[in-house]
Structure formats: structure tokens, C-alpha cells
Amino acid sequence: MPMPVTIKTPEEIEKMRIAGHLAADVLYMIRPYIVPGITTEELNNICHEYITNTQQAIPAPLNYHGFPRSICTSVNYVVCHGIPNKKQLKKGDIINVDVTVIKDGYHGDTSKMFFVGEPSTIAKRITQISYECMCIGIEMIKPGVYLGDIGYAIQTHAENNNYSIVREFCGHGIGRFFHEDPQVLHYGTPGTQLRLEEGMIFTIEPMVNVGKRHVKILSDNWTVVTKDHSLSAQWEHTVLVTRDGFEVLTIRPGDNY
């Protein structure tokens, strides 16, 4: 159901700054807990408690189209939308934790990769390249740029490193609603799709696979995995288009992006 792309008012932008800051703070808070032996369900419970009690905010994933937990946890060959469960993390795993909070009616959405113990060379590399893909996309944002320009740059960086971009899931406008227009594809053709304007807010969240781009959904109807079971990594920020560039609304303390 396409909705017009909204231009946020200064009042809405201020609320999005607050929601974005809270989402980022959850990722900052959870970092020391990500160690061998902890389960993703325990991570979920710590985040849920922190969001609802400390932040007095709402975890947006919980009951969103029936999603059963408060965060998404996607381990190794899980691409996205992993459901926290009773399985323990082990040394060498990589995990994406994706947090979306609602505060005062507005959403902040961000995710990052974590290493559990010492990562393998390939785990480090897919994590790094997916991070660079997100950064390249973010740094292009300014009025007049086309979403197709951004998608093309992200895709090119992944493919130049012999990795692939997942096509079935994309970034999205965000605000009063979790997923608004536009769709922000992480692949594409320069000069096509939406032309950016000051006041738009959307996410960039490339999913990058070591192997082929194809994915499948498990029988829980949520968990997205690589078809070839190759490692996958993803990073996500919520970003505002400003008069002459961009403002990342989900920066964590001490991190660049």
C-alpha cells in the first residue's frame, strides 16, 4: 500500500532524534552481554526490560505482524528477522541485533554486528564490508541525490569485494510508522527512483552475503537465511536528509556510525 513519502516537520524531527537516540542506546547497553553461552532469548529479555522500564518506550517488533519478540537477533547465516530463542551463542559466531523503539509516537530503528569471542577472517571481512556498504550509502545522502545512486554505490562496493546484496529486503521510510515509503533498495541504477529532499527520514540497512544473494524463509515464517548457508551481515541506521547533507539519528556513544 504505497503512501506518499512524508517530509518531517521540525517537531517531528526532534521526536525522531529522541527515538533514534534511545534505539542506539539499547545497542550500546547490550554490548557487554554478548558473550559465549548467553542465549538470544536472554538478550531479548534484557533489551525488553531496558526499553520498557528504563526508557519508558515501546519495543516496535513485539507483535508487529505477529513477530513474537522485542528485538531481532540474526546469527551467522541468518540474514535478518531472527527470532530470539534458547540456543546459546558460541565463540566465533557473528550476530546482528536489530532494535526498534517507539517513543512519543515515533520510531528509531538501528542494528549492528557483534562478534562472539574471536571472529574468523571471513567473519571479520563480511562484517567490515557490510559496514562499509552502509557508510557509503549514508555519506551520499543530500537533497537532489537519487535513491538509485545510493543503491548502485552500495551494490558496487559489495560486488567489488565478491559479496552479494540481498534483494528481498530493503531500507524504508520511518516516522509515525515502522515501515513507510520510500523503499530504499541496496542495489540499483544511478539516476532512478526517488530524488531526496530535505526532511525525509529513512533507514539504510544493507544485508550482504559471502555467497550467493538468494535467501529463504524458515517455517517459523520470520527467520530469513541464506539459501547456500553462507555468512551474512547487516548494519542499519535511521538517517535524516538535511539542507546540505544528512544527520544520522541513531549514533551510539563513541562510534562513528
Judged by beta carbon distances under 5 to 8 A according to partner kind, the member of ligand MF3, Co ion, none in contact with residue 67 is ligand MF3
- Minimum Å gap between C-beta 118 and ligand MF3 is 28
Check the annotation: does 236 bind a ligand.
yes
* Rounded distance between C-alpha atoms, residue 77 and residue 68, angstroms: 21
Q: Does 109 bind Co ion (CB under 5 A)?
A: yes
Give the residue at shortest CB distance from ligand MF3.
61
The answer to whether 67 contacts ligand MF3 (rule: CB under 6 A) is yes
Region 107-126 residues binding ligand MF3, contact defined as CB under 6 A: 109
Question: In this chain, which of 93, 149, 180, 236 binds ligand MF3, going by CB under 6 A?
Answer: 236
CB of residue 34 to ligand MF3, shortest distance in Å: 18
CA atoms within 13 A on the CB side of 83: 16
Please indicate if the annotation marks 98 as binding a ligand. yes
Confirm or deny that 157 is annotated as ligand binding. no
CB 94 within 8 A of CB 112: no
Q: Which of 25, 93, 98, 149 binds Co ion (CB under 5 A)?
A: 98
Q: CB 63 → ligand MF3: shortest distance, Å?
A: 9
Name every residue whose Cβ is closer than 8 Å to that of residue 113 and which is 6 or more positions away in sequence.
Answer: 94, 95, 96, 127, 130, 131, 233, 234, 235
Site residues, ligand MF3 (CB under 6 A): 61, 64-65, 67, 72, 81, 98, 100, 109, 203, 205, 236
Q: Can you say which residues are annotated as belonging to the binding site?
A: 81, 98, 109, 172, 179, 205, 236
